[in-house]
Structure 1
Amino acid sequence: MMRHIVMFRRLPAVPVQPDLEAELVERMRTLPTQIDFIRDWHVQTNELERSICWDYLLDSTFDDAEAVERYLPHPAHQALVKDLKQYFEWAAVDYTA
């Protein structure tokens, strides 16, 4: 199994837009309905206000590295990435579980 972990935070120069942010997060949460080879998928909101914390965490699981490589260019993922990059920055880690 391959774990794909991504942390998101609002870009510093972008004003807070609660409605847009909620829409983007909901789209993140429902992405597995469009990509059937995602095995496990959780999007969580940070609960503590600390400067070191990011705003959201995506914790997902795929069968293997090949599945992650198929996921990254998937049209549904790319459509979401296009919109996310206007509001969030992110950092990712992929590892074998």
Structure 2
Amino acid sequence: MIRHVVLFTFKPGVDWSDPRVLEAERTAARVGAEVPELREWRHGRNVSTRPIACDFLVDGLLDDMEAVERYLVHPFHQDAIAQWREISDWVMVDVEQ
């Protein structure tokens, strides 16, 4: 199993009042239902006020790296990426479980 975790940080001038952010959040919430390779899907806003904290997280569980590759190119996931690219930068990790 592969745990796929992505942490998003808003670009300067972007915050939760931006309609693009709210749309990206709604899209992220639907990824788990739209991409069949995902066994689990979590998402959420950061609640920490620490300066090193990111703004948003997505966390998925997939069978293997082949499933990760299919997830990455899935059209719904690609739409989500396009939305988040406009408003944020991110880091990610894929970890074997």
Tell me the TM-score normalised to structure 1 length.
0.91
Distance in structure 2 (CA, Å) of the matches to 1:15 and 1:80: 17
Q: Return closer, same or farther for 1:15/1:46 CA change in 2, 3 Å cut-off.
A: closer
Percentage of matched positions with identical amino acids? 32
Distance 1:4 1:17 in 2: 24
Q: Tell me if 1:9 matches 2:12.
A: no
- Once the two structures are superposed, residues 17-75 of structure 1 have per-residue CA deviations (whole angstroms, 9 ceiling, x without a partner) of 62221221111011122111210000021111111000011111001111001111111
SS of equivalent to 2:5? strand
RMSD of aligned Cα (Å): 1.3
- 1:67-89 per-residue CA deviation (whole Å, 9 max, x = no partner) reads 00111111111111112100011
1:51 match:
51
The CA distance in 2 between the partners of 1:69 and 1:96, in whole Å, is: 15
Question: What is the rounded CA distance, in whole Å, between the counterparts of 2:54 and 2:44 in structure 1?
Answer: 11
Q: Secondary structure at the match of 2:32?
A: helix
Q: Normalising by the residue count of structure 2, what TM-score does the alignment of the two structures yield? A: 0.91
Structure 1: runs of 5+ lacking an equivalent: none
What is the aligned length? 96
Q: Which residue of 2 aligns with 1:91?
A: 91
Name the CA distance, whole Å, in 1 between partners of 2:3 and 2:14: 32
**Structure 1 residue runs of 4 or more that deviate by more than 6 Å after TM superposition:** none
Higher helix share: 2
Q: What is the alpha-carbon distance in structure 1 between the residues aligned to residue 32 and residue 48 of structure 2?
A: 27
Q: Which runs of 5+ in 2 are unaligned?
A: none
Counterpart in the other structure of 1:32:
32
